Structure 1
Amino acid sequence: MTARTCPSGYGAVRRIALVATVSLAVGVPLLSGCSDGKESAASELPSSTCFGVFTPVELAPFVGTGDEVRVDSPGDLRLSAGRTKATCNIEVGGKPRLTVSAERRPPGQEVTWGSEVEKHRPEVLPYAGNSKLWDSGAAVVLGCTGSAEAFDLTLFIDAVPDGLKQEERRPAFAALMRKFMESARQQAGCDT
């Protein structure tokens, strides 16, 4: 593996973990990296990733480059009272690049977004009321009526958007979350 050189001051930013605390700390801190001119690691991803929701092309701006790609994810989001959480983590070159998670919670439980999210001046997603959108992620809480009982579904995406210009980041995360919401609703039995 070759050494990477990052712009001056970038190393300090790399060491700052972006943590979103959604109730009981949903999500994992992610550190940003830098491109070294190599091809995107997305070509090493399976044809569908993170619960079968995303394609390598959709994840390419977030996974960066590196010699080794590691995906740790269950195959689906079939959440229940016995299986309340599912998390997908993608590491490239030994560095965390993307975390996508879903958690089934009792309905109406208070959500704390956390100061790390709030300091990035998040906005509400245009298509979901109880949500946050910031430059490196998005989170939403959906009210669901399942076949047996009502529940809330908390969805979270946090990634390193090195492959995107600043003005492209929030729209890209909004699009990624929209797709995640549609799939998560179906797989988790939301509104069935």
Structure 2
Amino acid sequence: MSGMRIPRAVLALAVGTALLTGCFADKKSAAPALPSSTCFGVFTPAELAPFMGSGEEVRVDSPDDLGVNVSRKYARCNIDVDGRSRFTASIDRRPAGHVIVWGSEVEKHRPDVLPYAEHSRLWDSGVALVVNCKAAEGDFDLMLFLDAVPDEVKPEERRPVFAALMKKFLAASRQQTNCGG
């Protein structure tokens, strides 16, 4: 009789192990750790964590600052998790007074206008704005853009989160580019 109990115990152990392994295999891996300073030194890991999703490897491709000028016209920050783009921030310096055309890709998201930026568009997965800058070497425009995968952000919180991130991005951009208003 004891010979029959061992095979059942071994079978139960094998089935239990298989079930547990299946549970852990289906479980998403945790969000990857971000560096202490990301995207031009503007955003903190806590601010960007909701966009990272789950994964193992994070890659941040970004210059250290937003210092666009006459010779450096743009700067981009891309954050990928396991090879998938999760967050993008960009700044472009343009001649002052260019006509602003948002295009159908932005307009199809039924965007709002930011209360602090007349030439802006805010939607559920991003925000863009153009601001005119006064400078001793001549006026110029800055076009700022944030785009992310907001899966971990509640739908009703997405636009307020992007509006707050853009407000911080705009302040840092004005400071680092000597953009007077």
TM-score after normalising by structure 2? 0.83
- State the Cα distance separating 1:116 from its structure 2 match: 1.2
Letter in 2 for 1:184: S
The equivalent residue for 2:58 is 69
C-alpha distance in 1, partners of 2:130/2:69?
16
Aligned residues: 157
C-alpha distance in 1, partners of 2:135/2:38?
25
Instruction: Report if the CA contact (8 A) 1:147-1:189 is conserved.
Output: no
Secondary structure in structure 2 of the residue aligned to 1:51: helix
- State the Cα distance separating 1:143 from its structure 2 match: 0.5
Letter in 2 for 1:89: N
Secondary structure in structure 2 of the residue aligned to 1:108: coil
1:38-187 equivalences in 2 (<5 Å):
38-41=29-32, 44-187=33-176
The equivalent residue for 1:13 is none
Secondary structure in structure 2 of the residue aligned to 1:148: coil
Matched, 1:191 2:180: yes
C-alpha distance in 1, partners of 2:177/2:80?
25
Instruction: Report if the CA contact (8 A) 2:29-2:56 is conserved.
Output: no
- State the Cα distance separating 1:155 from its structure 2 match: 0.3
- State the Cα distance separating 1:39 from its structure 2 match: 2.3
Letter in 1 for 2:168: K
Instruction: Report if the CA contact (8 A) 2:31-2:56 is conserved.
Output: no
TM-score after normalising by structure 1? 0.78
- State the Cα distance separating 1:64 from its structure 2 match: 1.2
Q: Deviations over 1:82-129 (max 9, x none)?
A: 000000000001101111000000001012212111000001011111
Letter in 1 for 2:174: R
Instruction: Report if the CA contact (8 A) 2:30-2:56 is conserved.
Output: no
Letter in 2 for 1:177: M
Instruction: Report if the CA contact (8 A) 1:87-1:100 is conserved.
Output: yes
Instruction: Report if the CA contact (8 A) 1:142-1:154 is conserved.
Output: yes
Q: Which runs of 5+ in 2 are unaligned?
A: 1-24
**Superposition misfits of 4+ residues, deviation over 3 angstroms:** none
- State the Cα distance separating 1:48 from its structure 2 match: 1.2
Aligned residues: CA RMSD:
1.5
Q: Which runs of 5+ in 1 are unaligned?
A: 6-35
Matched, 1:37 2:15: no
C-alpha distance in 1, partners of 2:48/2:29?
16
